[in-house]
Amino acid sequence: MDTMFIPNEGDFRRWIRDAVKEVLENIPPPNNANQEEEEPLLNRKEIAGMFRISLVTLHDWMNKGLPFHKQGGRVYFIKKEVLEYVRQKKNNHFKI
């Protein structure tokens, strides 16, 4: 007759610890060449102030493609991405 293995709390702890360790070991190291990660994130008010536009106008720009990032339910922008987007729209004679 086969015996059934019933894991105990220690087994579960060990399995979880091993799984977490494996995941952490497989996270790639940060790429210092990627400046976007080093750039501080700007909030909606900061971007609106930068262009002297209202938050309503900023929201409209976001709907038209202005790049933004959501983090913890909040909206943030990377200045470099925003400037590139505005520059591209200006060069193409599109109204933002």
Q: Per residue, what are the HEC states of 9-55? A: HHHHHHHHHHHHHHHHHCCCCCCCCCHHHHCCEEEHHHHHHHHCCCH
**What's the number of CA atoms in the CB half-sphere (13 Å) around residue 60?**
7
As for how many domains the chain has, the answer is 1
Write the CATH number for 55: 1.10.10
pTM value surpassing 0.95: no
**Neighbour count for residue 75 (Cβ, 10 Å):** 16
Domain that holds residue 77: 35-91
Residues 9-43 pLDDT 10s: 999 999 999 999 888 888 776 665 555 456 889 99
Residues 59-81 pLDDT 10s: 999 999 999 999 888 999 999 99
Give the residue from 32, 45, 96 showing the smallest Cα distance to 75. Answer: 45
